[in-house]
Amino acid sequence: MLLAIDCGNTNTVFAVYDGDDKRCEWRAASKSGRTADEMGVWLTQLMQMKGFGPEAITDAIIASVVPAAVFELRLLCHRYFSAPPLVVGEPDVDLGLDVLMDRPEEVGADRLVNAVAAYKSYGGPLIVLDFGTATTFDVVDAAGNYCGGVIAPGVNLSLEALHMAAAQLPRVAIGRPKSVIGKATVPAMRSGIYLGYVAMIEGLSARICEEFGSPMTVVATGGLASLFTEATDVIHHLDNDLTLRGLLEIHRRNAAAHAHT
């Protein structure tokens, strides 16, 4: 079985695949300083609760946007699963796409993995809209190549900044407002954040398509994707498993290549 690890700025997701079948998935906060042993004890116990042990893991793959976490995640795979991992972004890992950027090495691993999965599932050209710590728009052309994108502050980041910088503004939960015009502080903030992001999604998607020169399929993923998908018809597909499926596809591509060498 394959252990797929998606390490983001906020959360790290661990998923176990048996072929195409996702057997289980667990999420932990991406705390700096967490050691391989801490993760190993936690993860192996969770696996045993699902009825299998660490010896069932034969392969591993890691995508991380937190460079400092990669060493411990790699050690986790070696020490607890005897499975040397593929690490997305390293030169020997074939993604099956070209990164058409001025500085390809700066593109986050999660954005490339999402591009791989979205192109396989929906074809191109497309925009992958990821609601993570940052809200990102990634552009994939008709040949499946990564062409660049847009990075904006994430929804929760914006809410927290608003609360921290303005003494009279409270923390509010993100949610769809009943009206655009808020009659009190909290409804006004909720409207500004929620409908402001809807307007950004619609506006940036339109501008990307105009600059690219053709209509594009828009695929949304990430924690808050479902909340915004219901508010606009600009988003064509909601796909919360995108990153994990991308890791599965990249592992499969590289395993097949090694099998032929």
Residue in the structure block whose two tokens are 């923390």: 171
Instruction: Classify 90 as helix, strand or coil.
Output: coil
DSSP class per residue in 161-207: HHHHH-TTPPP------S-SS-SSHHHHHHHHHHHHHHHHHHHHHHH
Give the pair of three-digit tokens for residue 208.
């990307």
Binding residues for K(+): 130
223-to-6, 41, 131, 175 alpha-carbon distances in Å: 14, 26, 6, 13
Give the pair of three-digit tokens for residue 41.
């004890």
Binding residues for substrate: 108-111, 185
> Which of 258, 261, 245, 252 lies closest to 116 in space, CA to CA?
245
> Which sequence positions are flagged as catalytic?
110
CA dist 100 and 115 (Å) reads 13
Radius of gyration of the chain (CA): 20
Q: State the sign of the Cα–Cα–Cα–Cα dihedral 92, 25, 244, 257.
A: positive
Q: Rounded to an integer, what is the distance from CA 119 to the centroid of its chain?
A: 15
